[in-house]
């Protein structure tokens, strides 16, 4: 969905939102509430930690997707560990959001980064893989390079952040969109809490929004529509 379509039909923002609770102390009750909100607001998916994958899948059934994070939150697990994590989750997850190996990236080990992503993609198969590069911690040049490596590794999306180290901004999303190939989509995640913020991300090139306040974004879309 492009920005023009979203401006014309702001309620469609719900289609873009992965409603998210990846807190390490998230409870089963909170995940059930998350899934209830996904269904109530007709959001795209619930995004959860591996422990809650089966719960989310049972709660959502075929009504919405389940996104599960892998190698969370720093991506420092070795490739075999990430692959094993994915294989255990495939029965419950529609999409996997893997964290790029930030240590390998910081050390300039591009080959390791690419092979790590490729290994995970091979395990994911036909299901969607998003690669989180933690853009709030990177320079513009580093963001662009990370997006290129995610593309080379076979990721279907490049994603900004896990949300623990600050929110993303439009410049980060734009850099990813410009650096990755046209076949790679962009997920903006971190600090997005309103329709206006989501619209800015879509205008910068995002095709998916990760947010813990997906319900608030949808409600603010209605208010935005009345004002405009």
- Domain residue spans of the chain: 3-227
Report, as an integer, the average pLDDT of 74-78.
97
Q: Which of 28-37, 72-81, 131-140, 160-169 has the lowest mean pLDDT?
A: 160-169
Torsion of CA 90, 93, 94, 95, to 10 degrees: -90
Please tell me the distance from the alpha carbon of residue 28 to that of residue 35, in angstroms, as a whole number: 11
Report, as an integer, the average pLDDT of 139-158.
98
Report, as an integer, the average pLDDT of 194-222.
96
**Res. 97: pLDDT tops 90:** yes
Q: Which pLDDT band, with edges at 50, 70 and 90, does 156 fall under?
A: very high
Tell me the pLDDT tens digit for each residue of 106-117.
999 999 999 999
Q: Which pLDDT band, with edges at 50, 70 and 90, does 5 fall under?
A: very high
Please tell me the distance from the alpha carbon of residue 212 to that of residue 156, in angstroms, as a whole number: 22
Q: Pull the structure tokens for residue 167.
A: 């929110």
**Res. 80: pLDDT tops 90:** yes
Q: Which pLDDT band, with edges at 50, 70 and 90, does 94 fall under?
A: very high
Output the pLDDT for position 228.
83
Q: Where are the beta strands (DSSP E) in the chain?
A: 17-21, 45-48, 65-70, 95-99, 128-132, 157-159, 185-189, 208-211
Whether 72 contacts 49, CB under 8 Å: yes
CB under 8 Å to 225, separation ≥6 — which residues?
10, 11
**Res. 186: pLDDT tops 90:** yes
Please calculate the CA angle 171-174-175 and round it to the nearest 5 degrees.
Answer: 85
Provide the annotated active-site residues. 97, 159, 187
Q: Which of 131, 52, 120, 117 is nearest to 86 (CA)?
A: 120
Tell me the pLDDT tens digit for each residue of 6-55.
999 999 999 999 999 999 999 999 999 999 999 999 999 999 999 999 99
- List b or e across 108-141, with b for residues whose CB sees 16 or more CB atoms inside 10 angstroms: eeeebbbbbbebbbebbeebbbbbbbbbbebeee
Fold type of domain 3-227: TIM Barrel (3.20.20)
Output the pLDDT for position 225.
86
**Res. 165: pLDDT tops 90:** no
Q: Pull the structure tokens for residue 2.
A: 């492009």
């Amino acid at each position: 969905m492009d920005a023009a379509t979203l401006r014309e039909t702001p309620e469609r923002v719900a289609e873009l939102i992965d409603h998210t609770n990846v807190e390490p102390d998230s409870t089963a009750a909170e995940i059930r509430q998350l899934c209830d909100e996904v269904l109530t607001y007709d959001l795209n998916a619930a995004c959860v930690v591996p422990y809650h994958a089966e719960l989310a899948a049972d709660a959502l059934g075929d009504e919405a997707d389940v996104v599960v994070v892998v190698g969370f939150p720093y991506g420092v697990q070795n490739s075999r560990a990430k692959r094993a994590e994915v294989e255990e989750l495939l029965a419950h997850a529609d999409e996997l959001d893997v964290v790029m190996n930030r240590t390998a990236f910081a050390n300039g080990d591009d080959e390791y980064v690419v092979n790590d992503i490729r290994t995970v993609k091979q395990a994911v198969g036909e299901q969607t893989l998003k690669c989180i590069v933690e853009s709030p911690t990177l320079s513009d040049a580093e963001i662009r390079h990370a997006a290129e490596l995610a593309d080379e590794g076979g990721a279907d999306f490049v994603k900004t952040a896990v949300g623990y180290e600050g929110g993303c901004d439009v410049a980060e999303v734009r850099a990813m969109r410009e650096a990755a190939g046209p076949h790679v989509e962009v997920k903006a995640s971190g600090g997005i809490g309103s329709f206006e913020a989501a619209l800015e991300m879509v205008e910068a090139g995002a095709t998916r929004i990760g947010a813990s306040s997906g319900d608030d974004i949808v409600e603010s879309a209605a208010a935005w529509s009345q004002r405009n």
